Amino acid sequence: MIIPALGELFEPTQILDGLDGILFTGSPSNVEPRHYAGSASVPGTPHDPDRDATTLPLIRAAVAAGVPVLGICRGFQELNVALGGTLHQHVHETGTFMDHREPKDQPVEVQYGLRHALAVQPGGVLQAIGLPAQLQVNSVHGQGIDRVAPGLRVEALAPDGLVEAVSVEGGKGFALGVQWHPEWQVRDNPHYLAIFQAFGRACRQRASQRGAAPRTA
């Protein structure tokens, strides 16, 4: 099922009992900086306040209830903000990190092509599901994690040290966020596929515990 961005009209607890997993997707919009005490956005920055008002409390409720969570790109950043972390609003302007944005003047195949290496940290979820210590990923984002939220484990780092994946430490269920887009050509990339397979297993396990057919949002 698709969860609409109803904002403050949405009550997470009304649907969590009927879900076996939640995928928080990417988006052209960014999390409003007021949610992490950041400075005001540059005029023209795309935001989606109704999505923020829907996803941030939903993430907190899902993690607390042990509902499997997978966050991609904006969803990865939402996971961090929802649990108390902060973001760099313009990664390329920090003076510390490389430009992680896609070349917008290129075909989509180039924009989502492999851009940089990723160092998978030992002992985490990504290693446990079979990802190697080093792999190549795409890079299609202008914002990124600044301060990692309490309770999140760093799962992977870009060559410049930017956090590219996190998981919830000691959580009741599967809760993983990745900055890149593993859904892009997922059938041709076993490392990307492994992420969705792990999420699927977690969803099926929750479904079996509920005695229901798997259902994700």
Indicate which CATH number applies to the domain containing 27: 3.40.50.880
Task: For the chain of 217 residues, list the mean pLDDT of each consecutive stretch of 10.
Answer: 84 89 97 97 94 97 97 99 98 96 96 97 98 98 98 99 98 97 97 98 93 64
How far is residue 26's CA from residue 46's CA, in Å, rounded to a whole number?
13
Active site annotation includes 183: yes
List the catalytic residue out of 47, 92, 116, 183: 183
Question: Which pLDDT score, from 0 to 100, does residue 158 have?
Answer: 99
Question: Which pLDDT score, from 0 to 100, does residue 216 have?
Answer: 62
Residue 86 included in any domain: yes
Residue 187 included in any domain: yes
Question: Which pLDDT score, from 0 to 100, does residue 124 have?
Answer: 98
Tokens linked to 67: 């509902």
Active site annotation includes 203: no
List the catalytic residue out of 73, 88, 191, 203: 73
Active site annotation includes 181: yes
Name the 3-class secondary structure at 88. strand
Q: Range of 18's domain?
A: 7-212
Residue 217 included in any domain: no
Question: Which pLDDT score, from 0 to 100, does residue 210 have?
Answer: 82
The conformation of residue 170, written as its DSSP 8-state character, comes to T
Residue 2 included in any domain: no
Number of domains in the chain: 1
How far is residue 42's CA from residue 49's CA, in Å, rounded to a whole number?
16
Question: Which pLDDT score, from 0 to 100, does residue 141 have?
Answer: 97
Question: Which pLDDT score, from 0 to 100, does residue 9 have?
Answer: 79
How far is residue 60's CA from residue 149's CA, in Å, rounded to a whole number?
12
List the catalytic residue out of 88, 181, 191, 203: 181
Residue 203 included in any domain: yes
The conformation of residue 38, written as its DSSP 8-state character, comes to P
How far is the CA of 33 from the CAs of 5, 85, 184, in angstroms? 18, 11, 28
